[in-house]
Chain A
Amino acid sequence: SAVISQKPSRDICQRGTSLTIQCQVDSQVTMMFWYRQQPGQSLTLIATANQGSEATYESGFVIDKFPISRPNLTFSTLTVSNMSPEDSSIYLCSVRLGGNQPQHFGDGTRLSIL
């Protein structure tokens, strides 16, 4: 399995500001993903972070709102831009080591926007 370190673990932000979340993995992984979990809800995939190219976004998520970087095979960032109270969620980084392998998650970033 992979050890995933995500930070910050939580933050309280003012509306209109942006926050960058970091995800560090202890091994090189091909597949890295970002999810959002709104209060009391299940997980929704935001995007697949591709190393060396632009992220692939799911329907309903756009790069301007959630820019993602993936400079190498062990690190990625997700920025939540121009935040509003509706962005209050847990954001989770996730990796998969191979095709039919378990997918592992970081501890998440709990974000509250005032």
Chain B
Amino acid sequence: SQQGEEDPQALSIQEGENATMNCSYKTSINNLQWYRQNSGRGLVHLILIRSNEREKHSGRLRVTLDTSKKSSSLLITASRAADTASYFCATDASAAGNKLTFGGGTRVLVKP
């Protein structure tokens, strides 16, 4: 079964708005990684946040991690049409043999 569960499954926003998506997981993790996938292509790595970190930023992206709640969030600020994609979280957990386990993904549509 998937370690990470994401919500919402789909998100539609206007250009310029912020988009927030959440990821919950079940076991202790070493790190959690967020990816973007455009239209069925390969995955682009966005951010890795380690278990001892609480927040990381990269450009318009902000990721938080709450290990007590076993959850993470990805915030995209000032969204653009080019941010339209599917976003996946993936956990790296010792219990899973240090292999990435993916959530179901959030499909984000940014309307111009």
Contact = CB atoms under 8 A, between A and B. Distances in A.
Contacts of A66: none
B26 interface: no
Q: Label chain B's interface by main secondary structure.
A: strand
Contacts of A43: 43, 88, 90, 102
A42 B31 contact: no
A102 B40 CA distance: 21
B100 A103 contact: yes
B42 A108 contact: yes
Interface in B34-69: 35, 40-45, 48, 50
Contact of A42 (B30, B41, B45, B102): B102
A100 B45 contact: no
7 contacts: A33-B100, A41-B104, A42-B88, A45-B100, A94-B43, A103-B92, A103-B100
Interface of B: 2, 30-31, 33, 35, 40-45, 48, 50, 88, 90, 92, 98-105
